[in-house]
Amino acid sequence: MTELHQENPNFRHVRIYDISRPVTTSTPPWPGDTPFDLQWSWRMDAGDSVNVSTLTMSAHTATHIDAPFHFEESGARAGELDLTPFWGPAIVLDLTASLSPSAVIDCPHFADIDLSRAPRLLLHTGAWTDPALFPTQIPTLTKEAVSHLAAHGVLLIGIDLPSVDTLDSTTLPIHRALGAANIRILESIDLTNVPAGEYELTALPLRLMTADGAPVRAVLRTL
């Protein structure tokens, strides 16, 4: 997490938190997925007029959204998605004191927050303890939790983990439940040192028209 500051004196009390994970060759991919790589097509130090790089990476590298097509053959693709869920009031919920890697995130965790005020929910679990290594076990949502969020009008769920399902799942029940509830999925955010509370979220996916997901630069702005 990187904290930025507005230079305009009219916004001296506004803070911007960059909650995107850095993308480098050290960024751990999902096991078996395509790692990030950058190659130089042109280099000024080699006599070219500009520097131009070529990127190779999975659509699910670092901080990204899952489009419904990721888990439903008939689902919408990344470039087709309405941007409304990815920009607007959000709540950061700190669960670090109540979760273990084997725990579940269930309805009681949301009992004390007013989701109607900010229908984008970002979960700080703290369970991905070493960002240089892909985790081996993570807490996950329950289907009951998804139903609760849907009933309260949640548009997006964000999590500081690489998946909303267990890492060994092949059926992705939570992805599918969120998709059926029309709740968008933002994964692998970094909420380190972001205080719990309400913010404005901007997490716009790249307009990759046919992709099953897309990287985002996710930021929070204090209100």
Which residues belong to the active site? 70
Q: Which tokens is 133 given? A: 């290594």
Type of residue at 85: P
- With CA atoms as reference, report the closest residue to 22 among 132, 126, 124, 162: 132
- With CA atoms as reference, report the closest residue to 162 among 94, 101, 73: 101
Q: Which tokens is 172 given? A: 């992705």
Q: Which tokens is 137 given? A: 């076990």
| Residue 146 phi, psi dihedral angles, 5° rounding | -60, -45
Q: What is the C-alpha to C-alpha distance for residues 126 and 121, in angstroms, rounded to an integer?
A: 15
